A and B are shown apart, each in its own frame.
Chain A
């Protein structure tokens, strides 16, 4: 049957060519339906419990969609008439941006000033009102006393301030609002900077983050495409020295990518920053398939150059590789499809699209590839296969001599390194996903260094009844909770209702310092709050601080640039404190917000991927058993492929120490990829043992000579291909690529040192 198939393919090569290419062309039409999502929510599934808590929170206070203009005085501080006027100009301009909901700035901060029975709740420095140098200095000392301004919108030295713009965006907002608003913000900034050299402007905020996800993907497309293609095809050209092979591989790669991305479009799978790496993954894996076939064809042609015509060599080469290519594609696809267990949708999408890509690459490698190879002109050169035959004999001799040492050394090093795998600390600081070439990263780092607050904890503190937030007990406990949080070293600012209450109480009682305390009567507090609410101008109201029925109030805790593990630790300690010290708040003292979402995602992803990885392992083990018909060989194969990802993670722990949410996916993906070479090697050894009746030592040599070049070449190509991802400015993709490349290299050591040594020492297999 195998024979009949291979001959049919070669005989009808033109038909095969036309059929496959037209099918692919049709599937590729799906790419027109591809959509891209750049918002940070794509990382969280609808079932994610942290996300549903955040959605409850947002139903009460609105969703955070902000752009932060960070203003720094080139000289002195922000409090000069010119600079304050400039800040006002920027504030007014921000009000004219589309979808704008709220603008908070240093100048429009609502200060509560009391003069007897006159209460002035109004802008710190109103737009359009001229002030002199002296008044500006007075404003500075007034501003620096405002506890809801300093540390939140203004640094304590008065040199750095914010204009924080909030937008009303929903999932239904058409187009790409993050990109559009960011490009408008940048235009505003460059125009502003040109006219106000006295102020340096930077841009951050959650929309800047969303936009950076989009930019990272676009950049990956632009930079990685030429790098990866160049690396892979130069490598193939160097190895095979044949344009036919390069062209065949290119066709298969392009077709596999086209059909995978087209299918993604048809299946309505949205792309996002992590899944944008899929084409590069498919490129690498499809190349490996083509190399296997091409090297088998070349070997056949070289072995008997006189009799074998091109078509005959292709038939023979395809017959040799059809089974291993099928097996290895299956294991690789299993690895990728197991990503559907991931907690984070981008990785599910990546798994599905890459899985489809692997399957199409396999189909193409056994149809399109032989068809093209039989049509195009090529000639196998003896120097083509890179590693001279006698090298394998030398290596084999060494292995025979030192087998026990090699077994112990490799296994021990591998296991020792693997033991460190769990000591990586999880960190998903989403600003750090982007390297320093991104404006977003540099500007946000600046913000975090000077003011903090890009990362924060959000609380909706419940009083338990309508209008309950004016109860003295409630306000006292909110106040105590806020005070405790302020004492924590990682906290830069806490904005709570109790601060507003103190300010109002002070203003209502003549403005003296002594009156900066909490009102002691519920009705009084309630009426202060009403007065305040009715006085705040539009767009600066209390809707984002207090729930509609006044049963809950919001508390925002701004943080320094700390790891997500520290965030979780702080949130846990805060909850514990509230449980023990603030009984009214005990039920609602659990933090939410984007920072909390990302802080949990790494661990959640590991928990979810554990079952996905185990399932992939089980399926691959079953497959290996059917391939080898030997528990012993299956066991050796699994061990040799399970240790490399763990060892790579262990090595990572020793040299880098930090991993992100993508780490959970590494084991499953690499297991599917690296097990291929093991299959090739053990199958070759078994063939020698069964067909030529060779003893184990001889069989291992035959396997090294037969499978060794292929294994070396695919390792080189796979490692090179995945290393290219390291040039991504997006850390998730860069680390995933690098880690996969490391695993592939470690697995190479296992395949060519550990497995031969084991097979030589354990003689009972066949």
Chain B
């Protein structure tokens, strides 16, 4: 009896080991599938309306358009044109995302009528004074993190994989990011950002995913909450347009002033 049980257990373990992936492999698999499903969008444009609320009652509003161009061989290129508030109107931010290398960033200042290259390596600065940093708003690349699958979890009625992302590039503002990836659409439903002390710092939730161009899922709302201050930044996305004909030539640093009116 005992012998039989031992043999059975050993067989199960051995069989399991042969097929099982490590949590790291499983995490990477999810990341790759996420990338595969979203690739090929070419380019898209979206309008952002961001509301800032501080816990003591202060508030603010930012409006901007965001242009994203998919680059096959490297990270994506993203241009943000600000409309509001007044001082920010006409300012253009251009970011070339790279894997492990520091991203390139330029800023066009209409009052100065000049484009300035921002040479600093970390992009942890605040995006237009919000709780989003440039790191949060930048485009995601598989190479930027190492992954570790934790477990499955149901989140607001959606089955998700919970994955731990550890930044692989230097100068990240986070020690890790916990991500809840929707199992049906392979997009994040929730992100939890941890500071260097390992404490949860910010939470990002995505709401109302819709499908565009019959294939690409995009959220209509993103809410970032600073868990320690209680400050909240909400972006309402609208007017997603895919395949607008955006070209690399339009996103060269020396021509971005053309975007500013």
A residues lining the B interface (CB < 8 Å):
59-60, 92, 95-101, 115, 117-122, 128, 168, 466-467, 470, 508, 521-524, 526-531, 533-539, 541, 547-550
Q: Would you give the shortest CB distance from B46 to chain A, in whole angstroms?
A: 20
Q: Any chain A CB within 8 A of the CB of B197? A: yes
Q: Would you give the shortest CB distance from B181 to chain A, in whole angstroms?
A: 24
B196 touches A548 (CB 8 A): no
Q: Which residues of B contact A531 (CB under 8 A)?
A: 107, 109, 116, 118
A-B CB contact pairs (8 Å), 8 listed: A60-B58, A99-B197, A523-B87, A524-B111, A537-B171, A538-B122, A539-B124, A548-B59
Closest to A95 in B: B196
Give the contacting residue for A121; candidates B120, B170, B198, B229; CB below 8 A. B120
Give CA–CA (A128, B134) in the complex, Å: 22
Q: Would you give the shortest CB distance from A658 to chain B, in whole angstroms?
A: 38
Q: Which of B9-17, B125-133, B161-169 forms part of the interface with chain A?
A: B125-133
**Range of interface residues on chain B?**
35 or more
B126 touches A467 (CB 8 A): no
Give CA–CA (A96, B196) in the complex, Å: 5
B109 touches A535 (CB 8 A): no
Give CA–CA (A610, B42) in the complex, Å: 78
A535 touches B115 (CB 8 A): no
Q: Which residues of A contact B126 (CB under 8 A)?
A: 533-534, 536, 538, 541
Give the contacting residue for A533; candidates B59, B120, B125; CB below 8 A. B125
Closest to A523 in B: B111
Q: Any chain A CB within 8 A of the CB of B200? A: no
Q: Which residues of B contact A115 (CB under 8 A)?
A: 119
Give CA–CA (A435, B79) in the complex, Å: 60
B86 touches A534 (CB 8 A): no
Q: Any chain A CB within 8 A of the CB of B71? A: no
A534 touches B87 (CB 8 A): no
Closest to B57 in A: A59
Q: Which residues of A contact B197 (CB under 8 A)?
A: 95-100
A128 touches B170 (CB 8 A): yes
Contact with A along B75-109 (1 / 0, CB 8 A): 00000000001111001010000000000000101
Q: Any chain A CB within 8 A of the CB of B158? A: no
Q: Any chain A CB within 8 A of the CB of B138? A: no
Q: Which residues of B contact A529 (CB under 8 A)?
A: 87
Q: Would you give the shortest CB distance from A740 to chain B, in whole angstroms?
A: 44
Give the contacting residue for B110; candidates A95, A522, A527, A528; CB below 8 A. A527
Q: Would you give the shortest CB distance from B91 to chain A, in whole angstroms?
A: 6
Q: Which residues of B contact A528 (CB under 8 A)?
A: 109
A549 touches B87 (CB 8 A): no
Q: Which residues of B contact A168 (CB under 8 A)?
A: 228-229
Q: Would you give the shortest CB distance from B254 to chain A, in whole angstroms?
A: 10
Q: Which residues of A contact B146 (CB under 8 A)?
A: none
A527 touches B125 (CB 8 A): no
A527 touches B117 (CB 8 A): no
Give the contacting residue for B112; candidates A59, A96, A527, A548; CB below 8 A. A527
Interface SS of B by simple majority: loop
Q: List the 10 closest A-B pairs by CB distance, nearest first.
A: A526-B87, A538-B124, A120-B119, A538-B173, A548-B58, A122-B120, A524-B111, A59-B56, A523-B111, A95-B196
Knowing A117-B114, A120-B120, A168-B228 are in contact, say whether A548-B129 is a contact too (CB < 8 A): yes
Q: Would you give the shortest CB distance from A745 to chain B, in whole angstroms?
A: 53
A119 touches B129 (CB 8 A): no
Closest to A551 in B: B58
Give the contacting residue for A538; candidates B58, B91, B119, B133; CB below 8 A. B133
Q: Which residues of B contact A538 (CB under 8 A)?
A: 122, 124-126, 133, 173
Knowing A95-B197, A537-B125, A537-B173 are in contact, say whether A527-B116 is a contact too (CB < 8 A): no
Q: Which residues of B contact A539 (CB under 8 A)?
A: 124, 173
Q: Which residues of B contact A537 (CB under 8 A)?
A: 120, 122, 124-125, 171, 173
Q: Which residues of A contact B183 (CB under 8 A)?
A: none
Give CA–CA (A120, B85) in the complex, Å: 25
Give the contacting residue for A530; candidates B54, B87, B115, B195; CB below 8 A. B87
Q: Which residues of A contact B127 (CB under 8 A)?
A: 534
Q: Would you give the shortest CB distance from A559 to chain B, in whole angstroms?
A: 28
A530 touches B117 (CB 8 A): no
Give CA–CA (A579, B114) in the complex, Å: 39
Q: Would you give the shortest CB distance from A595 to chain B, in whole angstroms?
A: 23
A549 touches B60 (CB 8 A): yes
Q: Which residues of B contact A535 (CB under 8 A)?
A: 118, 120, 125
Q: Any chain A CB within 8 A of the CB of B121? A: yes
Other A-B contacts than A527-B87, A531-B109, A534-B128, 11 sampled, CB-CB below 8 A, are A96-B196, A115-B119, A119-B116, A122-B122, A168-B229, A508-B114, A523-B111, A527-B111, A533-B126, A538-B133, A541-B126
Within 141-174 of B, Cβ neighbours of A (below 8 Å) are at: 170-171, 173
Q: Which residues of A contact B66 (CB under 8 A)?
A: none
Contact with A along B197-225 (1 / 0, CB 8 A): 11100000000000000000000000000
Q: Which residues of B contact A100 (CB under 8 A)?
A: 195-197
Closest to A59 in B: B56
Give CA–CA (A526, B89) in the complex, Å: 10
Closest to B122 in A: A537
Give CA–CA (A97, B196) in the complex, Å: 9
B85 touches A467 (CB 8 A): yes
Contact with A along B50-70 (1 / 0, CB 8 A): 001010101110000000000
Q: Which residues of A contact B110 (CB under 8 A)?
A: 523, 527
Q: Which residues of A contact B122 (CB under 8 A)?
A: 122, 537-538
A536 touches B125 (CB 8 A): yes
Q: Which residues of B contact A101 (CB under 8 A)?
A: 228
Q: Would you give the shortest CB distance from A471 to chain B, in whole angstroms?
A: 11
